[in-house]
Amino acid sequence: MDEDVAIIGVGQSVFARKCGVSVRELCFQAYKEAMEELDITRDDIDASITCSAPEYDKQRTPSGLISEYLELTPKPAFYVESVCSSSSTGVRIAWSLIKSGLHKVIAVIGFQKMSELTSREAAERMGRGGDIIWESPFGVTMPAGYAMYARAHMAKYGTTEEQLARVRVKNSSYGARNPKANYRKELSLDDVMNSNVITSPLKMFDCCANCDGSSTVIVARGDIAKRVSKTPIWVVGLGAATDTMTMSGRKSLTGLECSQEAGKQAYEMAGLKPEDIDVAEVHDCFTVSEILAYEDLGFAKPGEGPGLIDDKETYVDGRIPVNVDGGLLSKGHPIGATGGSQIRTIVRQLRGEATEAQVKGAEVGLVHNVGGVGQYGNVTILRR
């Protein structure tokens, strides 16, 4: 097990519409939580990986800044980006760097301070999220991309807007108990159904909110992990895949192929099946995204995802609890920090520390983190 790789520390800031501190201070909040519980100091960390979506950052090349502020210099600092799944990509790179023997303990720090941009600047960047030659000139947006998946799923399988709304009702019930979540109100089915249409069929409460936030995941070589952590959480499966930037390049519009492929890789590496997963965090940037994830990750057959939420099988006491921390929908979505926050939730679940909504006896957990409208897919399987 010495050659294996484990997560030994996790932390996240409170996610909020406006954090009111600088990027380095925001990152410190998550780093502090991750390090406080460990019997190591910054001297034991031999590299850092910073993860964010640079189009939202004022600071150029933030990895150097974070390395200095945490006094990690002269250790090497790397920077990775896969939009909304940046910090899952960061954990994958950390795993490889440790497995290769180059490094022993790596801090993966994800952040985004969306409030650094004016809403006009944010809207300008939103317009460049698609292929800027072929699709952005038509006015494509992130919600519009997922709305087209929603519409295709509804047409093929008879999925209803109420079924989508039920995902938000579930996630809001857990978000209300999460002290780190941006949105802490419970929402009823009527609240969601009566909210303004953003891009049909998605309404305001079908969508997550942009946020400020940070996350930290400390990844370590097995022998060190066992020495310094009471309950190391082992990284047993990793999957990563891409799909086309253009919407016209997608072969399927009723599921994300990058999720299916990343999931397949992760299950294979872990030697596990969907039914072995005790608790999951999936990328619910929109309600439909969670339904697609149920199917893409094998928790339900294609077309049967809506049945899982109808039957409350993804609640904390259901067959496969999903996003019982509120998900992106309630926590908010600070792009570069999101994957690390999802990993934090699963690590706390597997340690039995998720006091707000603990899945009893959870041993194996899955994290599904998607960048863009299904452009980058990452699946990470963790085991106690």
Partner 1 sequence: MGFESFGTVSFTAEAKVADFVTYLEQGKVMATRCKNCGAEYFPPQMDCPRCLGTEAEWFELKGGAKLITYTTVQYGPSGFEDDAPYTLVIVDFADGLRTFGRLSRDIKESDIKIGMELKVAPVKQANDRISYEFQKA
Binding site for partner 1 (CB under 8 A): 120, 123-124, 126-128, 131-141, 144, 147-152, 155, 196-202, 246-250, 253
Catalytically annotated residue among 19, 27, 51, 84? 84
Q: How far is the CB of 379 from partner 1 (least distance, A)?
A: 25
Q: CA nearest 61: which of 76, 72, 45, 50?
A: 50
Secondary structure of 188-209 as H, E, C letters: CHHHHHCCCEEECCEEHHHECC
Q: Which is nearer to partner 1, 291 or 354 (CB)?
A: 291
Q: How far is the CB of 327 from partner 1 (least distance, A)?
A: 22
Q: Which is nearer to partner 1, 196 or 355 (CB)?
A: 196
As a whole number of angstroms, the distance between CA 84 and CA 15 comes to 15
Residue in the structure block whose two tokens are 């072929």: 134
> Active-site residue 285, yes or no?
no
Contacts of 194 (CB under 8 A, 6+ apart): none
Q: Which is nearer to partner 1, 43 or 124 (CB)?
A: 124
Catalytically annotated residue among 153, 283, 333, 368? 333
Q: Which is nearer to partner 1, 59 or 252 (CB)?
A: 252
Q: How far is the CB of 43 from partner 1 (least distance, A)?
A: 46
C-alpha to C-alpha distances, 249 to 131, 224, 253, nearest whole angstrom: 11, 45, 10
Count helices and strands in the chain by DSSP H and E runs? 13, 11
Contacts of 254 (CB under 8 A, 6+ apart): 149, 152, 153, 156, 157, 292, 302, 303
> Active-site residue 51, yes or no?
no
Contacts of 307 (CB under 8 A, 6+ apart): 300, 313
Q: Which is nearer to partner 1, 100 or 196 (CB)?
A: 196
**Number of other CB atoms surrounding residue 222 within 10 Å:** 16
Q: How far is the CB of 188 from partner 1 (least distance, A)?
A: 23
Known catalytic residues?
A: 84, 333
